[in-house]
């Protein structure tokens, strides 16, 4: 495995470890654990650039470590953990949603085009309007997820955003509930929707260029470089 590939795997491990570490630390009210969770998120974002020897990435990692050190000594270390559960789904929603603009090919349709580009038979004509609707659904799904995470962060106690701003919310939710949804249930919902949609698509459009769910995931991963090249040209 060459360094860039190893870096992507390590970044994925760090990103996958973040929600577990974040929820465990919130549940235990561990400031050090919360700081470590935030550092995992920073490192996951910087690892590919670190592997390429980028000086700014190393400086960013050092600055992130300093921020985490200070974070562990604040009275409300959990505040920074509210950021990722809002910004990440918003970013994913933007990735899907911007391809719905006039003159652009919806993201799901782009995947289908790439996956059918070789020896696979052409998709059924009904696939293309379905791909546009599905891209809309994913866009709205991520927007709803980000909104829910933000709302729970605002209403959380004892360190929710409204209480931190000195505003007493009409309704409060335990901070543990926010963390359970933002760092656990939200990801389960994404995985469940993905799996259900896959099963529905196989049933509705049986003529597919993949043999199984694992083959589908493999082809999706293989299609990512071509998709990124398309995006850089658009």
Place of tokens 């293309």: 128
Distance CA 62, CA 44 (A): 14
Instruction: Give the rounded distance of the alpha carbon of 146 from its chain centre.
Output: 11
Contact 145, 182 (CB under 8 A): no
Contact 105, 113 (CB under 8 A): yes
> Element (H or E) spanning 174, and its range?
strand 173-174
**Cα–Cα distances in Å, from 163 out to 34, 77, 150, 170?**
19, 14, 14, 11
**Cα–Cα distances in Å, from 133 out to 89, 99, 200?**
19, 12, 14
What pLDDT shows up at residue 182?
Answer: 96
Residues 6+ apart with CB under 8 A from 169: 154, 155, 157, 160, 162, 163
- pTM of the predicted protein model: 0.85
Secondary structure (3-state) at 156: strand
Q: In the beta sheet, which residues pair with residue 157?
A: 174
Q: Provide the 10 A C-beta neighbour count for residue 43.
A: 20
Distance CA 193, CA 188 (A): 8
Per-residue pLDDT of the chain (234 residues; tens, 9 = 90+): 445 677 888 888 998 999 999 999 998 888 888 888 888 988 888 888 888 888 888 888 888 888 888 877 776 778 888 989 999 999 999 999 999 998 899 999 998 888 877 666 778 888 999 999 999 999 999 999 999 999 999 999 988 999 988 999 999 999 999 999 999 999 999 999 999 999 998 888 888 777 788 888 887 877 777 776 666 555
Secondary structure (3-state) at 48: helix
What pLDDT shows up at residue 1?
Answer: 43
Contact 194, 212 (CB under 8 A): no
Instruction: Give the rounded distance of the alpha carbon of 186 from its chain centre.
Output: 10
């Amino acid at each position: 495995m060459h360094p860039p590939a190893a870096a992507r795997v390590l970044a994925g491990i760090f990103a996958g470890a973040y929600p577990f570490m974040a929820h465990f630390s919130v549940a235990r009210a561990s400031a050090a654990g919360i700081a470590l969770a935030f550092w995992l998120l920073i490192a996951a974002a910087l690892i590919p650039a670190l592997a390429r020897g980028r000086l700014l990435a190393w400086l960013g990692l050092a600055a992130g470590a300093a921020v985490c050190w200070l974070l562990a000594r604040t009275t409300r270390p959990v505040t920074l953990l509210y950021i990722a559960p809002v910004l990440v789904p918003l970013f994913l929603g933007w990735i899907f949603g911007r391809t719905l603009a006039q003159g652009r090919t919806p993201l799901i349709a782009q995947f289908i085009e790439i996956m059918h580009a070789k020896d696979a038979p052409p998709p059924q004509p009904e696939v293309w309007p379905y791909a546009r609707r599905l891209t809309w659904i994913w866009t709205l799904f991520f927007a709803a997820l980000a909104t829910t995470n933000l709302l729970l962060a605002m209403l959380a106690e004892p360190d929710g955003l409204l209480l931190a701003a000195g505003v007493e919310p009409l309704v409060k939710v335990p901070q543990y509930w926010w963390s359970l949804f933002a760092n656990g249930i939200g990801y389960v919902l994404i995985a469940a929707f993905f799996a259900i949609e896959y099963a529905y698509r196989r049933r509705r459009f049986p003529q597919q260029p993949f043999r199984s769910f694992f083959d589908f995931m493999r082809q999706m991963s293989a299609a990512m470089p071509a998709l990124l090249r398309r995006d850089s040209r658009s």
